[in-house]
Amino acid sequence: MRHLLKLQDLTREDILSVLNLADQLKFERNNGIQKDYLKGKKLGLIFQKASTRTRVSFEVGIYELGGYGLFLSSNDLQIGRGEPVQDTARVLSRYLDGIMIRTFAQQEVEDLAKYGSIPVINGLTDYAHPCQVLADLMTIREYKGSFKGLKMAFVGDGNNMANSLIVGAIKTGMSFAIACPKGYEPDAELIKWAKENGDFAITTDVKEAVKDADVVYTDVWASMGQESERKKRAEAFKKYQVNADALSVAKPDVMCLHCLPAHRGEEITEEVFEAHAKEIFDEAENRLHAQKAVMVKLLK
Ligand code: CP
Ligand code: NVA
């Protein structure tokens, strides 16, 4: 594992190895054991979009590992004024030991890795959110013990979260079903890959996807960068809500996950969100542990 650009680049063994290390780091933190796995290592954190969890968990994570994180807003970097990513990559590689980047185009992340000489971590693009899914998988395994025989259902937009969850679920052996409106499907190549490599279903019917699910996942109807489509999307997605009626056909011990931020009353009801708040905030906490594991794997 040289980078974390998207989950497709990781083998099942890579994923399980990150999750095992994440569990270990969580145990150590909970027991007051602090080890400088990344003593003196410097991680740049480039943000072209807003963030609460990703920014704070990466900054705290690198600090806890004995390293140093530099928050680099694209508003202040020359990249925001058009300096090519190829040049930014080569310059930052001279100063830093690794880069985390949150941006729009997946190609930018791929180019940063291609032209630079240090590990690159995708902190969210329009296409993928691998760090979030590693934390999601960690949380699912904590609650369910293993991935064997589990069904994950995703309700809503076929966005970056859906794309990455498909790969994470199929690679860990879960079955996956998505309910989304026509025109809002996940990436077509990923759908093809999932059908060929696992148990994958796509439907426009929420209950069909959620039936017998062990994990129900949802995300916002309008992602960052899609603010101008909010109205149109609210109309398209109005039936795609995780509510008590939808969950009535899931397994009785179903988990509900949400990457956050959540819009109560849109993709999830207040009632369902609060009933599952424990696992949703465990999931948010696990960003820290999962990303510390990723940083140790890539930067050590
Ligand atoms: N889930 C997630 O990535 O949250 P932030 O946008 O707050 O980083
Ligand atoms: N799909 C959302 C995820 C936020 C963590 C977005 O891209 O805005």
Asked whether the beta carbons of 35 and 28 are under 8 A apart, the reply is yes
219 is catalytic: yes
Residue 220 Cα, ligand 2 centroid: separation in angstroms? 7
Q: Evaluate: CB of 53 within 6 angstroms of ligand 1.
A: yes
Strand partners, 4: 121
Transcribe 230-267 into DSSP letters. Answer: HHHHHHHTTT--B-HHHHTTS-TT-EEEE-S---BTTT
Given 129, 141, 276, 289, the catalytic residue: 129
CA distance 259 to 284: 7
Nearest alpha carbon to residue 289 among 110, 141, 127? 141
Q: Evaluate: CB of 223 within 6 angstroms of ligand 2.
A: yes
pLDDT in tens, the chain (300 residues): 999 999 999 999 999 999 999 999 999 999 999 999 999 999 999 999 999 999 999 999 999 999 999 999 988 999 989 999 999 999 999 999 999 999 999 999 999 999 999 999 999 999 999 999 999 999 999 999 999 999 999 999 999 999 999 999 999 999 999 999 999 999 999 999 999 999 999 999 999 999 999 999 999 999 999 999 999 999 999 999 999 999 999 999 999 999 999 999 999 999 999 999 999 999 999 999 999 999 999 999
